[in-house]
Amino acid sequence: MEKLLRSLGYEVVKYNDLTAKRMNEALHTFTEHPKLRDTDSVFVVIMSHGKREFVLGVNHSEENPDEFPVDNIYKYLGPQECPALMNKPKIIIIQACRG
């Protein structure tokens, strides 16, 4: 995926092995990226395990849930949180089971 996006001219910001909390922080940090005002579109790709409505963080277990709500993606990329992306295509790819 990284190679494909780079070949299409996108700058890739990559994170590995995140907890749900770090996924939230990474998306929040992304909304403040200085190049968003000049971009025509963005891709957000999340690859992990999952279940309905959640992407699972690296520390997930049945006893200790580490769950990132999928709706947070839309919250962070929406016009209130990220006005720089208003009226710009946002392609979101989630590669995770849904339970």
The helix (H) or strand (E) run that includes residue 42 is strand 42-47
- Give residue for tokens 């409505």: 53
Measured on CA atoms in the order 25, 95, 4, 43, is the torsion positive or negative?
negative
* Active-site residue identified among 28, 33, 60, 97: 97
Catalytic site includes residue 60: no
* Active-site residue identified among 28, 33, 49, 82: 49
Would you please indicate which residues are annotated as catalytic (active-site) residues? 49, 97
